[in-house]
Structure 1
Amino acid sequence: MKPVTLIAACALSAAGLFVLLSFWLDPFVALEMGAAVFVLAPLMALVVLRKRRQSRFGDQFPEAIDIIVRSLRAGHPIGVAIKAVAQELPDPAGAEFAILQDEIAYGLDLETAMRNLANRVGQQDLPLFVTSISIQSQTGGNLTEVLDNLGGTIRARIKLHRKVRALSSEGRVSAIILGAVPFILFGAVNVISPTFYGAYWGHPWIKVGLTGAVVWMCIGFAIMRKMINFRS
């Protein structure tokens, strides 16, 4: 997603929220909430997009290791193997290995370029991959066997991770439904009886009550997410 598209989408969402809330809340309060959405939504979107990119890279990583292993077994140096990954795989793995290849071509040593790759992508399997190549380049040994075993380990971990996500899918759906029910009921009551909450909006404690309700809902949602978020 392009930055301009992301900012435009967040601006439209903030404007829509402001218009919607203006029917029930003070315009200044609605403006504050719309501004908060405009500020926080891009940050949340970037976090989601980064995790999605890391996930796609993780799915491609075993195949990238296989390409490197085949190139090394054919007698090619590690630089040629990295170039093969950059040419054969699509984004994001292909793009990241292309950057790695360019850094090595412009004079950066292999270990530093590999660590830059790990820091840039942030995928959890990359540090072990970088360490394996760094140690083997300094001490020698059978790098193809090490990388072959590493690829098998990563594939097994990915398979386990998908199995855990499948088993915890019911809990995730329940958490989403429980988190959305209060907002759905609030909207439904306002549609059915627009004056139902009218007598309470001016009460001095209404903001405190709403803030407390939102805080406790966020805490409950975080607890449910923690309960179903198994590390694999």
Structure 2
Amino acid sequence: MLGNGLYLIYAAVALSGVMVAEAFYLLYAGRNDRRAAINRRMKLQENKLSQEQVLIQLRKERGLEGRASWFSLDGFRKLRTQSGLVMPLARFLLTSSGVALAVTLAGVWKGLPFSFAIPLLPLLCVVFPVVALKHLKKRRHKLFGIQLPEALELITRSLKAGHPVPVAIAMVAREMPDPIGTEFGVVADEVTYGSDLVSALHNLFERVGHEDLPLFVTAVSIQHSSGGNLREILDGLSMVIRERGKLKRKVRAISTEGRMSAYILTAVPVLLMTAIMVLMPQFYGEVWGEPMTWYLLGGSLSWLMLGNFMLFKMSTFKF
């Protein structure tokens, strides 16, 4: 019986390792795709798919096509769409659950009582997917915000050359990398297959959720309904977005002290505890099995997270 239990533990650890590796692939391997094609939409077109098939595939990958999975709540599904995740939702949840299982097993191996491990596992299974999607969304929004002024300037130059707005948007899809290349490509494809331009741009904002997009959508909507010189509007809008980005970076640089304080206050107890465990393993050896030890560690971690949350709230400004 003991041997069978050990085999089960080894199998669980091996499965957790595979899922952790897949999680790292999910977060970081997407960067290599840009070397093969300028954006994902162009990459799919290289597979001899029609324009309509590419549009359907992109919408399926983002969870916008087909039946809603029973895993999806509205807020979670919106977060998943805006994160740009193309992995199937069930597979993503399975991967994040594997990471949660690996963390829980590591805690049990270090002496975490089963009375703590049993409620910890479902909590981590809920927290890890949300944290991973928020990380992907933040990284995607940062890159999208850098690319948006360049895309507006490209649209402006295309309008100066006499092209209509849908053709100018399609040019952005051909010339710019992800994420903005594929997103504007979906807009161009939706217009091609019957959607009006304003609705396609509203769908773009729902898919991306970047705070600067409503400025662009509103400008095109006003020009579409009442006329006007869209080229001059987009010129001014591009300048406004660039200046807004400069102001954000300046405020972020000024508020670096608060964030660095949070990083240091978090790192010091962790590094100190790690150093003690490496230099004097027997120092905590006698108390790992005591339930009170884990109560105290849990309380300390809670206070540490609360302090970090307050520091980050004081040093984070939204525009």
The verdict on a shared fold, with TM-score over 0.5 as the criterion, is yes
Whichever residue aligns with residue 63 of structure 1, its letter is E
In 2 relative to 1, CA 45–85 (structure 1 residues): closer, same or farther, beyond 3 Å? same
Contact persistence 2:187–2:204 (CA under 8 A) = yes
Contact persistence 1:14–1:35 (CA under 8 A) = no
Q: 1:3-44, CA deviations, whole angstroms, 9 ceiling, x for partnerless residues?
A: 468965773574255235522322553465455444422321
Name stretches of at least 5 consecutive residues in structure 1 with no aligned partner.
none
**1:98 matched to 2:200:** no
In 2 relative to 1, CA 187–25 (structure 1 residues): closer, same or farther, beyond 3 Å? farther
In 2 relative to 1, CA 216–186 (structure 1 residues): closer, same or farther, beyond 3 Å? same
Contact persistence 1:15–1:34 (CA under 8 A) = no
Query: Out of 232, 238, 248, which is 1:145 matched to?
Result: 232
Displacement after TM superposition at 1:99 (Å): 0.4
Contact persistence 1:18–1:34 (CA under 8 A) = no
**1:156 matched to 2:243:** yes
- Deviation larger for 30-39 or 214-223: 30-39
Q: Taking structure 2 as the reference length, what is the TM-score of the superposition?
A: 0.65
Name stretches of at least 5 consecutive residues in structure 2 with no aligned partner.
1-25, 27-85
Aligned residue in 1 for 2:144: 57
Q: State the SS of the aligned residue for 1:196.
A: coil
**1:171 matched to 2:258:** yes
Contact persistence 1:53–1:92 (CA under 8 A) = yes
Aligned residue in 2 for 1:188: 275
Aligned residue in 1 for 2:214: 127
Whichever residue aligns with residue 40 of structure 1, its letter is V
Identical counterparts, % of pairs:
46
C-alpha distance in 2, partners of 1:210/1:16? 16
Aligned residue in 2 for 1:111: 198
Aligned residue in 2 for 1:11: 98
Query: Out of 161, 165, 181, which is 1:78 matched to?
Result: 165
Aligned residue in 1 for 2:11: none
Q: State the SS of the aligned residue for 1:141.
A: coil
Whichever residue aligns with residue 142 of structure 2, its letter is S
Tell which has more relative contact order, 1 or 2 (C-alpha 8 A, sep 6+): 2
Q: 1:43-68, CA deviations, whole angstroms, 9 ceiling, x for partnerless residues?
A: 21111101110111110000110111
- Deviation larger for 11-20 or 109-118: 11-20
